[in-house]
Amino acid sequence: MNTIRKHAGKFALGVLLVAGFNAAGAQAPAAAETCTGCHNDNGITDSAEIPTIAGVGGFFLENQLAIFAESERPCVAEGFADEDAENHCALISQLSEDDRMAIAEYFGELSYQPFEQEVDESLAAQGESIHNASCDRCHTASGAEPFDDAGILAGQPIPYLVDQFEYYKAGERWQPESMAEEMQKLDADQMKALAHFYAGAWE
């Protein structure tokens, strides 16, 4: 029988952030309002379909915003009507490069918090083997290190992770050639296992 555990990582509940300010006390740039409708003022997701962007690394965020602006990853349309934009890519393409840099710096310096969710330990163990064999070189510390410039995978929502893995495998999201080769080796069950591993990997 597979063991299911509720996982939200180990984090200090006593650390409070004032909305609109990051951990260093810097005020959110006006352009950040572009993101808060889905990603919240603190950059921490409350939806299994949306990633947390707080603390995942400014360089990574800046790159992802540029990729969205060039439509080099899927341009999700759901929820963007209220933002007067056709989809995520259209919304980001309206921003200047300076705005994107300011957004990335702001959210990149906020405190990360893992998504609370149930993790299947048996699947996570399978996923750990896949990570160690194919992913660890770039996604260090079990996908929890923002300074490797590959974002944070640890603690992200499982449905979101699975969606992204499928995009990568289908070639619908930009990725390094070496990563594309590894993604082609994974089937649906392996991608699910990898997602469960990362979901429970935040410590």
Mean pLDDT of 75-95: 83
Domain match, 125 and 181 both:
yes
Domain match, 145 and 180 both:
yes
In percent, how much of the chain has pLDDT > 70? 85
Q: Tens digits of per-residue pLDDT, 156-189? A: 999 999 999 999 999 999 999 999 999 999 999 9
Out of 10-14, 86-90, 109-113, 166-170, least confident range: 10-14
Domain boundary among 108, 127, 145: 108
Q: What confidence score (pLDDT) does residue 197 get?
A: 99
186/171 Cα distance (integer angstroms): 13
* Separation of first and last alpha carbons in the chain: 25
Q: Does residue 9 sit within a domain? A: no
How many folded domains does the chain comprise? Answer: 2
In single-letter form, the type of residue at position 32 comes to A
Domain match, 93 and 131 both:
no
Domain match, 35 and 90 both:
yes
Domain match, 89 and 122 both:
no
Task: Please identify which residue in the block is written with the tokens 């609109």.
Answer: 20
Asked if the model's pLDDT at residue 135 lies above 90, the reply is: yes
Asked if the model's pLDDT at residue 19 lies above 60, the reply is: no
52/72 Cα distance (integer angstroms): 20
82 versus 126: the higher-pLDDT residue is 126
Q: What confidence score (pLDDT) does residue 133 get?
A: 98
81/91 Cα distance (integer angstroms): 10
Q: Does residue 24 sit within a domain? A: no
Out of 26-35, 41-50, 155-164, least confident range: 26-35
In single-letter form, the type of residue at position 174 comes to W
3-class SS letters over the chain: CCCEEEECCCCCCCCCCCCCECCCCCECCHHHHHHHHHHCCCCCCCCCCCCCCCCCCHHHHHHHHHHHHCCCCCCCCCCCHHHCCCCHHHHHHCCCHHHHHHHHHHHHCCCCCCCCEEEEHHHHHHHHHHHHHHHCCCCHHHHCCHHHCCCCCCCCCHHHHHHHHHHHHCCCCCCCHHHHHHHCCCCHHHHHHHHHHHHCCCC
Q: Tens digits of per-residue pLDDT, 55-76? A: 999 999 999 999 999 999 999 8
What's the mean pLDDT when you consider all of the chain? 89
Task: Please identify which residue in the block is written with the tokens 């163990």.
Answer: 125
Q: Does residue 169 sit within a domain? A: yes
User: Residue 15: which pLDDT band, with cuts at 50, 70 and 90?
Assistant: very low
Q: Does residue 2 sit within a domain? A: no
Q: Does residue 99 sit within a domain? A: yes
Domain match, 86 and 141 both:
no
- 95: its two tokens: 């921003």
CATH number of the domain within which 60 lies: 1.10.760.10
Q: In terms of residue numbers, what domain contains 48?
A: 30-108
- Residue 149 falls in which region: left (phi positive, over 0), alpha (psi -120 to 50) or beta: left
73/47 Cα distance (integer angstroms): 20
Q: Does residue 49 sit within a domain? A: yes
The pTM of the full predicted model, rounded to 2 decimals, is 0.87
Domain match, 63 and 83 both:
yes
Q: Does residue 20 sit within a domain? A: no
Domain match, 144 and 90 both:
no
Mean pLDDT of 17-37: 71
Q: What confidence score (pLDDT) does residue 27 get?
A: 84
Domain boundary among 108, 141, 156: 108
Q: Does residue 84 sit within a domain? A: yes
